[in-house]
Amino acid sequence: MAAAAAVVLVLLVTAALAVVPGRGGPGTTLSDVTVPTAESPGSGNSISIDARLYVPRHTPAPAVLLAHGFGGSKETLADQASDLAADGFVVLAYSARGFGASTGSITLDDPDREVADARTLVDWLAARPEVERDGPGDPRIGVTGASYGGALALMLAGTDPRIDAVAASITWNDLGQALFPNRGVVPDSAAAPPAPTPAASPYGGPGVLARGWAGIFFGAGASGAGQPGIPPDGPCGRFDPAICLAYAPAAESGRPTPELLAMLREHSPASVADRITAPTLLLQGQQDTLFGLDQADGTARQIAATGTPVQVRWFPGGHDTGGDSASSRAAAAAFLADRLRDEQPSTPGAPLPFSFTLPGATGDQGRQSYRRMSAPDYPGLTPATAATPREPLPLSGPPQTVDRPPGATPAALSSVPGLGGAADLLTNLPEATDPPGQTARFATAPLERPLAVTGTSTAQLTVTATAAPGTAVLFAKLYDVSPQGRHVLPGGAVSAVRLPDSPAGQPVPVTVTLPAIAYQVPQGHHLELAVTTTDQAYATPLSPARFTIALAGPALVAPSVTATSASRALPVAPLAGIGALGLAVAVLVAATTLRSRRRTIAQVDPGLVDTPLVVTGLRKTYGNRFRAVDGVDFTVHRGQVLGLLGPNGAGKTTTLRMLMGLISPTAGEIRVFGHLVTPGAPVLSRLGSFVEGSGLLPHLSGIDNLRLYWQSTGRPESESRIDEALAIADLGDAAARKVRSYSQGMRQRLALAQAMLGLPDLLVLDEPTNGLDPPQIRTMREVLVSYARAGRTVLVSSHLLAEVEQTCTDVVVMNHGRVIATGTVEEFTSAQGATEFLVDDADSAAAVLAPIAGTVARVDAGRLRVDLGDADPADAVRVLVGAGVAVRRVTRPTRLEDVFLQLVHTADHREELP
């Protein structure tokens, strides 16, 4: 009966199937498909699902159902679908109801609607001759998606036993807990929280509305959500009225109703996770203030409890950095390939490796290092998990009284939805992010050794509140604080805590669970627990209130997973019997057969998917035998601002042109986030550049230039992030003026905004300060440093060495097409050199400094040039002042310039040697 129904379904959609042009890889064919499905159970009405089928060269093959994120469509999945098809999968990418060209209303992954639609699509694939089958009506199929699509993938696997593998990225476990979190546990002996419901937060009582994210989430659907030309009807837009009307009261009050929580849980993987039998990969971003690591943890524990194999992978990305990443998509593709091709069969109950990225602390210049860590299996985040060692760190600080002002303004700034680390711009000014009088702070002692915090830390507090019923709300966060006082909030996440109502003056004990993080706290830094009365990302009650917050437990308890640094495996091909011609032929045939299936391995290095740029053995020789680049090797990591230096003709611009895919190297390779760079490579969409002129049109305004440029990329307008790029470039009202009226500095900043469109992970700039005056250069410097502080990477080529010294964290020096030196700016400038002293008596100063200096040279009547060796200039000033010599100025020439000139001179000298 099921097979017959599938045949009928195929007949229904055959008339709607049309071959369309598009990027699908060699041998891939694309067809647009319209699949009818029931509008709702028993309604008798139907809607249409718009989809696109990607068929690889060799069939039958396993299938992959590809679901999009909220606000997306089948068009936003084109690159990912093409990559999967190039790897040998039959791919069906589709627009969920209410998005793209699909009809119907959005009901937030309703099991009876969106999830039922997905089951209909599985039926349709089961009848396709191109799809490999495990039995009648049972295709060999995996499902993958991110965010909205990730929850759909998990819920489909929990309701359709035909699903053979699941890869879900940056998604929720319980949408009610995600949008209304409450991370405080109140003991039973304290004031009792409201009676829990099956959908209530496990932390006791209703949570606090994450107003920033919820507004974006529900606002996008209410405004039409991706269906241009089709006006929304009424205030609900593309949402089903039952959804938006249930949310509206919570949006006003900041508190969810039990009915809303129950509905959101029903539309969540938590409702079906215990029925998932397919091996599952959960990819969760470490920079995600919408769906934190705890959401993946809940799903992982529910799936694993049934014995189903589940693998967890944390990666440096998430909703705060633009969504999932190329590395997460590559990991999902590899997982599906292993499971759907029986190359890595899973044993029920067998542990799968857990991996995460461990970033180091961001230094004062924005530099950050990353390590991929791996553990044998996933230990979980719950405090009761014995597999995760937990280290108590003594906390200190007196009881503190803090106020919530009327109107809850000014509010603490922790993160901005969609930007996450925007508050990092203020990390040197904690009072700017946590208003005085509203924040209680408790600190650990400086760490005697580095500590990797992996998971959720906890702290015990006692809170006495004078707040109106239902308004006792606090926000807790954990800072890494450097010895210089720089505050870094890992992941930008905050724990919202709604306390139960209690009589005024009655202390309430509460255990606060901090957001889950994976973060390396350096030696000498300390951790600071900050508890605020407001937070701009949440629906903070507006009535004034006073809280007295004290430590109830002696320590902050921090988890640290036992893991090892994951090294990249090198392929080894042992040759048994060199003369065995038959074996050699067999290996050749096998390699040819697997080439199409393993194309991703050739094009993507899994060990480098979190590294922005790796240049290996790069060479470029032109037709006249001139070798412009000769064996260049260097690596650029996240958070770095790397300066590419060299005299004219050193090969810098040629290297950048090869990085951009404008020309092809003669030998060697360039990998961006593990992807091999070739002309037109999809990974170049993650790279923004300003290399050979911006091509600005003078008769258009600045913003029109940006819009036109973005349209030429063919990417959705919603991904342009034009407003954010303009804000970073700080063009202000000038963006609306015609470019012909711009100064050179404004043109450069507009060109920089053009390079930053889409907020690319890697920004490549060639001489960005050309033609700028000193104030404009300073502004450009601040823009680049701020951009990298958000976890992105900047590669800049410049001849202004003083600016490189102040802007860059790292330097690569080239000469005659080769790399002659690499290192941090600090390493280059740490070489001791002459220090100049402007004094009122040069003769007396020379006599005083002679015992502590190597050489003392008199420049003029009041100026000395002194080689202090390892001595600190401050010590020299102290000696001079103590001897009665007035010191008017102390300067040290730019050491980077000195080192650079010496390196180039030495390299030139070597070139001249026979």
Domain boundaries, the chain: 2-176+268-359, 197-264, 390-560, 611-821, 834-892
CATH of domain 611-821: 3.40.50.300
3-class SS at 676?
strand
- Specify the pLDDT at position 914: 38
**In CATH terms, are 2-176+268-359 and 611-821 the same topology?**
yes
Nearest CA-CA partner of 492 in 285, 288, 759: 288
Torsion of CA 591, 595, 598, 602, to 10 degrees: 90
Task: For the chain, give percent helix, strand, coil, nearest 5.
Answer: 30, 25, 40
- What is the spatial distance between Cα 685 and Cα 675, in angstroms, rounded to a whole number? 12
Q: How many angstroms from the chain centroid is the CA of residue 596? A: 30
- What is the spatial distance between Cα 290 and Cα 416, in angstroms, rounded to a whole number? 11
Q: Angle 338-344-347 (CA atoms, 0-180°, nearest 5)?
A: 125
Q: From edge to edge, which strands make up the β-sheet containing 310-315?
A: 18-19, 29-38, 46-55, 90-94, 63-67, 141-146, 163-169, 280-285, 310-315, 354-359, 370-375, 564-565
Q: Angle 99-155-34 (CA atoms, 0-180°, nearest 5)?
A: 35
- Specify the pLDDT at position 846: 87
Q: How many angstroms from the chain centroid is the CA of residue 348? A: 32
- What is the spatial distance between Cα 416 and Cα 908, in angstroms, rounded to a whole number? 50
pLDDT band at 565 (very low <50, low <70, confident <90, very high): low
Question: CATH assignment of 390-560, given 3.40.30.10, 2.60.120.260, 2.160.20.60, 3.40.50.300?
Answer: 2.60.120.260
- Specify the pLDDT at position 370: 61
Q: From edge to edge, which strands make up the β-sheet containing 887-891?
A: 855-860, 863-867, 834-839, 887-891
Q: Which residues pair with 644 in a beta bridge?
A: 797, 812
- Specify the pLDDT at position 893: 60
Pull the structure tokens for residue 661: 């895919």
Q: What's the whole-number mean pLDDT along residues 541-550? A: 93
- What is the spatial distance between Cα 765 and Cα 798, in angstroms, rounded to a whole number? 9
Give yes or no for residue 8 having a pLDDT over 70: no
- What is the spatial distance between Cα 625 and Cα 325, in angstroms, rounded to a whole number? 40
Fold of the CATH domain 834-892: Alpha-Beta Plaits (3.30.70)
Residues 767-801 have pLDDT tens digits of 877 766 777 778 778 888 888 887 889 998 877 77
CB 291 within 8 A of CB 321: no
Q: What's the whole-number mean pLDDT along residues 251-264? A: 87
Q: How many angstroms from the chain centroid is the CA of residue 489? A: 15
Residues 667-676 have pLDDT tens digits of 899 999 889 9
Residues 660-713 have pLDDT tens digits of 888 889 889 999 988 998 877 778 878 888 765 567 788 888 888 888 888 777
- What is the spatial distance between Cα 522 and Cα 361, in angstroms, rounded to a whole number? 6
CB 243 within 8 A of CB 106: yes
Nearest CA-CA partner of 183 in 495, 539, 506, 621: 495
- What is the spatial distance between Cα 648 and Cα 643, in angstroms, rounded to a whole number? 15
CB 147 within 8 A of CB 323: yes
Residues 369-390 have pLDDT tens digits of 567 788 877 777 765 444 567 8
Fold of the CATH domain 2-176+268-359: Rossmann fold (3.40.50)
- What is the spatial distance between Cα 504 and Cα 517, in angstroms, rounded to a whole number? 35
pLDDT band at 545 (very low <50, low <70, confident <90, very high): very high
Q: Which residues pair with 310 in a beta bridge?
A: 280
Residues 71-102 have pLDDT tens digits of 889 999 998 999 899 889 999 999 999 999 99
Report the run of H or E that residue 848 belongs to, with start and end.
helix 842-849
Torsion of CA 156, 160, 163, 168, to 10 degrees: 20
